[in-house]
Amino acid sequence: MAAVDIIIGSVYGSAVLVAETLEQTLTDAGHQVQLHEDAVLADLDTGHFWLFVTSTTGQGDLPPNLLPLFEEMRESCPPMPQLRYALVALGDSSYDNFCGAGRQLDELLQELQAQAVVERLQVDATETLEPEEPALAWLKGWMAKI
């Protein structure tokens, strides 16, 4: 089984709830999972699978707890073609820049040559009150690729 780092960007806690739900499913499947709410690059292993769960704040911005990692990766990270990842973006389509944080993060990871194993999931708060449900269904659809 794989080592999975779940990297969370959250303002009000929805992303944490989604991450904890995914963590439980991955753990039940035998994976070793670690949650990172204030991740720094030095604490992450590119040999692990990275699963991002992030909300969007402001005008499509990254949550404050994820911004330092994003900036560190953008400014000083070498290409990471060995990194495999997946990403859940939480947002509200009634705002401009829907799921902007997730899109920015996905674009940066692609620039760094990381390998997405599945298309980014965008969960719309106007369509679902429990974002962990579509995220769990999404995870189950590709989890065997980890």
CA distance 77 to 85: 16
pLDDT attached to residue 58: 87
Cα 110–8–69 angle (5° rounding)?
A: 55
CA distance 55 to 66: 10
- Structural domains for the chain: 3-145 (3.40.50.360)
Share of residues in the chain with pLDDT > 70 (%) = 100
pLDDT attached to residue 119: 96
CA distance 99 to 122: 7
CA distance 100 to 59: 8
The length of the chain in residues reads 146
pLDDT digits (tens, 9 = 90+) for 14-67: 999 999 999 999 999 999 999 999 999 999 999 999 999 999 998 899 999 999
pLDDT attached to residue 129: 87
